[in-house]
Structure 1
Amino acid sequence: MKIMDNPWSNINFQDGVFISKSDGGVNLKDLWKGDAQLHLDLPPEPFIGNIDTAKLIVLLGNPGFSEADKDVFKCPVFHHEYEKCIHSGGYDGGFYYFTPETVNLPGGVWARRVYNQIMNAGSAKLFPGSASFDALKKGGQGKILDVMYESIMHIDFFPYHSKSSHNSIKGDGKCRDSRGSCRAGGIVPSQKWQFGLVGEAVKKVERGEAFIVVIRPREHWFCNVPSLGDKFGEMSNFIRYTPPQAISFTKGSLDFQNGKGTFDSIVDKLFP
């Protein structure tokens, strides 16, 4: 159930509007300094993907930043896919970095690294004898990208880009204040929409339709989406993942942290 009107419906490339209509009362420009300063000239990414079709939903802190991220302004396909996703509130489109036209953008290169082993395993399932995604012909790669486009969703705790996450987003072990509320749950009003999406994701996982991977900030996610914390640890398709360094969903790391067979179960869900 949607808890509010989509706060992201005003975002658009043509007018360079990259701040949610619900966040206008927050002084985002001066909110944080240094590497945590927000880059408000980039389109926010509170979520990437479609909650209705997603089979692997990944919870993160906030989108990062590099100068190369501005390449999105040169890609009309990205504009179309991005606006389809964000104007729907995450109920239309898909993981917009997994299209032939966007996969080589900086965000696509990052996503390829994160999902490299999953995409290779999926390639081997759909095209027996294939060594990897890169070894496939263009048509084969397109089929793998179609699966990833439909099946992957990222939801960020905080929607705006910064080079490094502010300490209040990372979590410092003191999630709740004296009243029991999350210290980071109301930095901007638009966060509530993402919390609602995660609530929908929990229902999908309970029905056996998807996996959730919680990366960061775990305590803040549990605090703001109680159903997530209540169910975590009870079902195998609620997955913990603490990256040793950069995020990369490998068979070794997923199975080590969640039990043997976790990686294969995810691959089988995405590529039945």
Structure 2
Amino acid sequence: MTSTANPSLVQLHGLERSDRVQTYAQIAETVRRVRAGIEAQGLQCRPNSALGSLFQKAQVLNEQWEAQTNGHDILTLMQADEAVRIAHAVEAVLDEPEAKEAIRRITKSDMHLSTRQPSQGKDALWELDLNRFLRQRQVPVRMQEPPDLAVTLPGLLGEYGLACKKVYSEDSVSKQLQKGCRQLKAMGAPGVVAFNLDDITPQRSILVQPTRVAAEDFLHAKNIAFITRHRLVLQKAVMSGGCDAILLATAAQADIKGLSPRFNRVTQFTLWTVNEAAAGTHLRIAALHRLIDGKS
């Protein structure tokens, strides 16, 4: 492998904003339903826990809106959005035994997503977020250990792993990448290492952009800048066969002037590999891309 290997990039649109616009009442109902589902699984979501506190914000936001008070503010709105993001990810797997440990970690951990505090719950949420993203696109994905998720590729390409890693510090990227590659090796199948980059963006911030495309382009540029900073170590992992590619995801709460409502959550996914990777790598990545785009 040389340091001049050429990148191959695929931009995957997250489509996670208010495409499915929800009223405050709908958000509160979603959170209530998921809280009940969690407790029905024998897990606890106490009001004084981090998750319980976030879930309560969704209820408070709705109550303030219905009462037409001036009490609601941007922080409450951000926290309610965090609550419904968690609720949607958890609800997708509530009835699956393989997901119970991930849900347990979420109920026991710091889940304030706009802060930059590492937690096992946030790690678990990234697995569930990616699982939901793929299922929404009809990708045949399931939770599995190891790695974290597995997909069945079409034809004779077989099983494919996704090792999910959340980046809290750029100093940890190499170590996290190695862990992900070891998980794929333990599965005995090829796959990708999927990094979530939310926690290396500014905390408690709102991305302000004029249009949705501008917001997506901004986050895509963040993903590309991350690849550029860590290109040598990422490239080495691909060229040595440790993984086929790197999947990056960055989500941001955003004020998009050209949309109604203006408050959104935008997620940008980028799939990266190198042109000099083995032919089998490119076949599998192309198959994964077609599954996500609904073209297979």
Q: Which has the higher helix share?
A: 2
Which has the greater radius of gyration? 2
Q: Which has the higher strand share?
A: 2
Instruction: Identify whether the pair has TM-score above 0.5, normalized to the shorter chain.
Output: no
Q: Which structure's relative contact order is higher, taking Cα pairs within 8 Å and 6+ residues apart?
A: 1
